[in-house]
Amino acid sequence: MTTTPLFLRNTWYYALPGEQLKLGQTLSKTLLSEPIVFSRDCSGIVCAKRDETKSYPTCEVQGNIWIYMSDSDSQPQESVPQVPGFENQSYQAVETIRFPCDVDHAVVGLIDPAHIAFVHQAWWWRSPQILNEVIKSFEPSLYGFTMQRHPLEQQTFFYRLVGRNPHIEISFQLPGIRIEQVTTEKHKVCNLTAITPISDTETEETTIFYTTLAWFPLLKPLLLSFTRSFLNQDREILIKQQMGLQHDPPLTLVGDADAQSRWYYRLKAEFARSQMQGRPFVNPIKAQTLHWRS
Ligand SMILES: [Fe+2]
C-alpha cells in the first residue's frame, strides 16, 4: 500500500487574484513548496515559471489566476473551476488568509460542518447554545461531492437582505475548492473558497465573492470584516490544533459529521492512485444523506 502524497499534482490550484499582477509586472510566490515567478506581459497574458526550464500552464478567469501544477509536461485535461452564472465576470470581493498547517488540516477545517457552532460564535451570526439536527443529501460531482440544493434555514441578516426564498447548494472538489451558491427569487450570491498549499506547514485560503446585487459595494466593507473575523476564528482553532498535534494523538473521523472529511481523504487517495496507475479517476463517493448536529 502506498501513502497519498501531501500535494496532488496535475490539477489546477488557485494562485492569486488577477488584480495583484499588473501589466508588465512579475510577482514571485511559493506554491507547493516551489518558488514560482508569475509575469503578465504587456498584452495581459499571464505566465508562470519555476526556472529557465520549467513553466506551468496558467488560466485567468473570473478575475482569478490559476496554475496547473503538473509533474511533467502534461497539459490540463479539465477546465478551471468556475462559479456558475458569472461567466466572464470578475469577483466583487476577495479575502485571503494563511493558516500555519498543512493542506489537509486546512481542507478539513473548511468542510467540517460541525465546527460552525463551536468555532464561529458571534452575536450577529448565531448563539452557541442551540444545536440543531441537520439532514443533508449529497451526491458525487466532478472530483468531489455536492450538497444538494435546499432551502436555507438559518438566515443571517445578510441573506435576509438578498431576497425571499433563499436556497443553497455547496460543492467541493479536489484539490480544495468549495463553491457555495445562494439563490433567492431575484438574486444570486456565490462564493468560491480555494485552499492552496504554500509549503508542508503553511496553507493559503482565499474566499472570493460574486453577486448580482447592485448595492453590494455599499455592504462590501462590512461583509469583508465579517469574513475576516470568520477566517481568524478558523485560524485560531488551527493554531490550537497544531499545538495538540505535536503530541501525535490518534486522529479519528467518526459519524456523519466527519463523513465529508473522510470523503476528502478517499477522493485524494483515488486521485493520486489513478495517476500512478495511468487510468481515469473513478469518483469513490456514493449518493448519501447525512445527519449531524450543528
Ligand atoms: Fe470555519
Which pLDDT tens digit goes with each residue over 235-266?
998 898 888 888 888 777 878 888 999 999 99
Distance 106 CA to ligand 1 centre (A): 10
Distance 189 CA to ligand 1 centre (A): 19
Which domains are present in the chain? 88-293 (3.90.380.10)
What pLDDT, on a 0 to 100 scale, did the predictor assign at position 34? Answer: 97
Distance 122 CA to ligand 1 centre (A): 13
Distance 237 CA to ligand 1 centre (A): 9
Cell of 118: 463551536
Distance 224 CA to ligand 1 centre (A): 15
In the chain, which ranges are continuous DSSP H helix? 103-111, 116-119, 157-162, 216-245, 259-276
In 122-184, which ranges are continuous DSSP H helix? 157-162
Cell of 258: 466527519
Distance 139 CA to ligand 1 centre (A): 22
Distance 243 CA to ligand 1 centre (A): 18
Q: Rounded to whole angstroms, what are the CA distances from 173 to 14, 80, 110, 218, 221?
A: 13, 11, 12, 32, 29
Distance 118 CA to ligand 1 centre (A): 9
259 vs 128, which has greater pLDDT?
259
CA 122 from centroid of its chain's CA atoms:
23
Percent over 90 (pLDDT), the chain: 67
What pLDDT, on a 0 to 100 scale, did the predictor assign at position 152? Answer: 87
DSSP structural state of residue 44: S
- The mean pLDDT of 198-223, rounded to a whole number, is 94
Backbone φ and ψ of 203, nearest 5°: -135, 140
CA angle, 247 as apex, 243 and 248 as ends, to 5°?
110
**Coil/strand/helix, residue 95:** strand
Distance 22 CA to ligand 1 centre (A): 32
State whether the Cα torsion 241-242-248-253 is positive or negative: positive
Distance 7 CA to ligand 1 centre (A): 22
What pLDDT, on a 0 to 100 scale, did the predictor assign at position 173? Answer: 98
Residues with Cβ within 8 Å of residue 229, at least 6 apart in sequence: 122
153 vs 103, which has greater pLDDT?
103
Distance 36 CA to ligand 1 centre (A): 29
Distance 84 CA to ligand 1 centre (A): 23
Distance 234 CA to ligand 1 centre (A): 5
Burial 93-102, CB ≥16 within 10 A → b, else e: bbbbbebebb
Residues with Cβ within 8 Å of residue 93, at least 6 apart in sequence: 208, 209, 216, 220, 223, 224, 227
Q: Rounded to whole angstroms, what are the CA distances from 76 to 40, 68, 85, 173, 268?
A: 20, 7, 23, 16, 18
**From CA 256, how far away is CA 263, in angstroms rounded?**
11
Q: Does residue 1 carry a pLDDT above 60?
A: no
Distance 155 CA to ligand 1 centre (A): 17
Residues flanking ion ligand 1, Cβ below 5 Å: 234
Confidence of residue 126 (pLDDT cuts 50, 70, 90): low
Characterize the bridge pairing of strands 64-68 and 12-17: antiparallel
- The mean pLDDT of 170-188, rounded to a whole number, is 96
Q: What is the largest CA-CA distance in the chain?
A: 57
Which of 29-43, 120-134, 175-189, 255-269 is predicted with the least confidence, judged by mean pLDDT? 120-134
Distance 40 CA to ligand 1 centre (A): 34
Distance 156 CA to ligand 1 centre (A): 16
